[in-house]
Every structure is written in C-alpha cells, then in structure tokens.
Amino acid sequence: MTDVEAGAAQMQTELASSRDGESDVKPILEVRDLHVHYETTRGPVQAVRGLNFKLMPNEILGLAGESGSGKSTLAMALLRMIKDPGKIVKGEIRLDGRDLLSLSESEMRQVRLAEIAMVAQGAMNSLNPVMRIEDQIKDAWADHGVRYSRREADEQIANLLQWVGLRPEVARVFPHELSGGMKQRVVIAIAISLRPRVIIADEPTSALDVVVQRQIISTLRRVQDDLQAAVILIGHDIGLMAQSVQKLGIMYAGKVAEMSPIYEMFEDPMHPYTQLLIDSLPSPDQKTPLKGIPGITPSLLNPPSGCGFKDRCPFAMEVCDTVIPPLEEKRPSRMVSCHLFSEET
Ligand SMILES: Nc1ncnc2c1ncn2[C@@H]1O[C@H](COP(=O)(O)OP(=O)(O)OP(=O)(O)O)[C@@H](O)[C@H]1O
Ligand code: SF4
Ligand SMILES: [Mg+2]
C-alpha cells in the first residue's frame, strides 16, 4: 500500500465514523452560488464563477486546482477580505446559518480570527520583520479588541507557542531568527489564538521542504482536533492532500469540478479532469514519467460557454459546448459537475 493509499484508507475510516448521525448535523459553513470578479481595464476577470459547497463541523476539506483556478480568491472571499479591484458580485456565505455578506464591517472584524481564521498564502513571509513575535500576536489581538494584562498575555503567548510546537522563548525573537517551518507555526499560532471554529489554510506548506511540510500538516491536524474546528486546506499537491483531508474539492477555472470523499475520489475519480489529475500523479516506483494534461486553462476574462474544461476533455460532447454542467450529487456524497453523469441524477 502506498502512502497515498494508506492515508486515503485512514481518512475513509474517519469519514465513515463521522458520517454516523450526519443527518442532523448542520454545516458550519455554506457557500451558495458565489461569484467573485476582479475589474480590469479589459473587463471583469471572473475568478470564482458560481461556487457551491458545504463544510461540516470538524471536517477537513481540501481544495486543489492549478494556479489561477480561484483557490485564494475563494479563501479571501470567505473572510470578506477581497481587495480592490476584486468584488463579491453575487452569492451567499453562511457561517452557522448567519449570512456573512450582510454583516457590517465591524461585525465582520469580530468574525475574523474569532470564528473563521486564515493562514493566508505566503503569510509566513509577511510577518513584520522589525517586530518581536509576541508583539505581532498582541497586535492581532488588539485588532480584535482583545486585551490581556501583561502577565496574562505572556502566559497566553507561551501556551499558544507550545501548542504549535514552539518553545516559549520564540516570543522574544524577530522573524528572521526563525526557520520557514517555525515562521509558519507562528502564523498558525496567530490564526488559532482566538479559538476559531473554521480555519482556512492557503498553501501552508508551499516553499517548505517535504519533511517540514508533513510536520506543519500534522500540527494543523492536531490543533484542528484540539479545537474541534473545521478546516479548509488549500494546496497543489493532491498526493499530500490525500493523507491530510477527508474530502477533496478539485477546482477548475473558478468552479468546482468534483468534490468527493478522498478514498472514493482516488479509487474512482468521476470528473474527467480529476481522472487526468490522478493519472498524472507520479507512480510510487517513479518509473512512469509524469504526464501533463494537454491544453491550457480558459481565460477568465471571457470564460467559454458551456463546460470550462471542454477544450481539454477527451469526452467532450455537443451539449458541453453550450450548457454549463451544474455541480450535483451524482452518487452518495459525490458532487460532480459533468454532463457525462446526467443520467445518474
Ligand atoms: N488583483 C487581481 N486583479 C486581476 N486578476 C486577479 C487578481 N488577483 C487574482 N486575479 C486572477 O484571478 C484568478 C484566480 O486567482 P487566484 O489567486 O485566486 O488563483 P489560485 O488558484 O489561488 O492560484 P495559485 O495556485 O497560483 O495560488 C486568476 O486568473 C488571477 O489571474
Ligand atoms: S461536461 Fe463535457 S467537456 Fe465538461 S468534463 Fe464533462 S464531458 Fe468533459
Ligand atoms: Mg492561491
């Protein structure tokens, strides 16, 4: 059994037990028909084009997809942190039933960090180089109106650092004194400092070596478990994802192509893009060369009519040219956006 298969099998067991009694559990986060555009002089870049998904309490959902498929745009939109020229043009984002898009900016500020926290893409390189780690943590608290006495703050910071596997002395150092993995742990410590119910981690392991990648993922899983939080883990490496998440969403050109429990997805990928992605993973013996997926992603300035994947899809049919395939549950727990399965609904 390869690492990927072993990880997927373990996730399958966890998922099966988490499914018991799932019927009356409500999603902690629900996204409906979300559209995000970036206005440019050439027209709107339609970075997120009608996303729908649910995140259950305690669930670890992976989101993968090639560069530019809209992963970070979605992550930022969930926290209403899309910056100009970006805009959420349509949709609903519900946290525990509450519509985040209808909150005032000051209400939303309370939600960030305290309810949904983000480990942003590249955040470990955005730590303030001239501030000690403890001051950066205190700053994040101050931004959310949280104040502690000096003694309480020192104690909280020491606990927080220990929680993510760092020594308490790290509080007094500057970012340049830390390795990449340690900086990423600091970023995770800040994100979890107000015990959020949802953690979004956008490529938390990119630019780290393989051993450190695994350590960071296991730290994230440990804090997720301690907090009983739900996690959205964004990444490129679906092999690493398979060992870390319960369910995986594959994004393509601003949409979800398929979202399935990890074991089923690897055993029997349904969407043609998922099939090609899984097929292109290096084999364990490394004897088969890496296969790319022929063709290029469509422009999001003028997205094509019909299915976004039609120009690269080996199974494209006439209907794919004109009709956008909706993301639907084609088999139990398997959401797929492809006309090949229209008869299965
Ligand atoms: N500020 C911006 N102005 C115009 N277009 C943008 C802007 N930010 C992102 N985009 C476009 O939005 C689309 C989605 O980008 P996004 O960063 O969300 O992708 P991603 O999946 O996170 O990619 P990566 O894997 O490289 O991080 C891309 O086509 C990108 O070029
Ligand atoms: S809808 Fe058509 S073009 Fe798109 S993935 Fe399915 S078969 Fe391929
Ligand atoms: Mg990104």
Average pLDDT score over residue span 163-177: 97
Say yes or no: CB of residue 255 within 6 Å of ligand 2. Answer: no
Task: Please indicate, yes or no, if residue 175 is contained in any of the structural domains.
Answer: no
pLDDT for 4? 52
Distance CA 256, CA 37 (A): 16
Task: Please indicate, yes or no, if residue 202 is contained in any of the structural domains.
Answer: yes
Ligand 2 atom 3: residue of nearest CA: 310
Under DSSP, the state recorded for 208 is S
Task: Please indicate, yes or no, if residue 191 is contained in any of the structural domains.
Answer: no
Read off the pLDDT of residues 10-68 as tens digits, 9 standing for 90 and up. 555 555 444 444 468 999 999 999 999 999 999 999 999 999 999 999 999 999 999 99
Give the number of residues written for the chain.
Answer: 345
pLDDT for 243? 86
Show the tokens assigned to 33. 């028909």
Give the DSSP per-residue string, 107-145: HHHHHHHHTEEEE-TTGGGSS-TTS-HHHHHHHHHHHTT
The CATH number linked to 15 is 3.40.50.300
Say yes or no: CB of residue 248 within 6 Å of ligand 2. Answer: no
Average pLDDT score over residue span 220-226: 95
Asked if pLDDT for residue 86 goes beyond 90, the answer is: yes
Task: Please indicate, yes or no, if residue 143 is contained in any of the structural domains.
Answer: no
pLDDT for 167? 97
Distance CA 302, CA 32 (A): 22
Number of domains in the chain: 1
Task: Please indicate, yes or no, if residue 312 is contained in any of the structural domains.
Answer: yes
pTM of the model: 0.91
Average pLDDT, the chain: 90
Say yes or no: CB of residue 320 within 6 Å of ligand 2. Answer: yes
pLDDT for 24? 80
> Look-up: residue for tokens 């976004």?
308
Domain span at 38: 3-115+196-284+299-344
Asked if pLDDT for residue 3 goes beyond 60, the answer is: no
Read off the pLDDT of residues 138-156 as tens digits, 9 standing for 90 and up. 999 998 888 899 999 999 9
Task: Please indicate, yes or no, if residue 124 is contained in any of the structural domains.
Answer: no
Task: Please indicate, yes or no, if residue 227 is contained in any of the structural domains.
Answer: yes
Q: Are 325 and 308 in contact (CB under 8 A)?
A: no
Among residues of the chain, what percentage have pLDDT more than 90? 77
Ligand 1 atom 6: residue of nearest CA: 38
pLDDT for 21? 45
* Residues in the ligand 1 pocket, defined by CB under 6 Å: 38, 40, 45, 47, 65, 67-73, 85-86, 121, 300
- Out of 41, 42, 67, 78, mutate this one to test ligand 1's pocket (max ligand atoms within 8 Å of CB): namely 67
CA of 148 to the centre of ligand 3 (A): 34
Read off the pLDDT of residues 26-38 as tens digits, 9 standing for 90 and up. 999 999 999 999 9
pLDDT for 23? 61
Average pLDDT score over residue span 255-269: 96
pLDDT for 9? 54
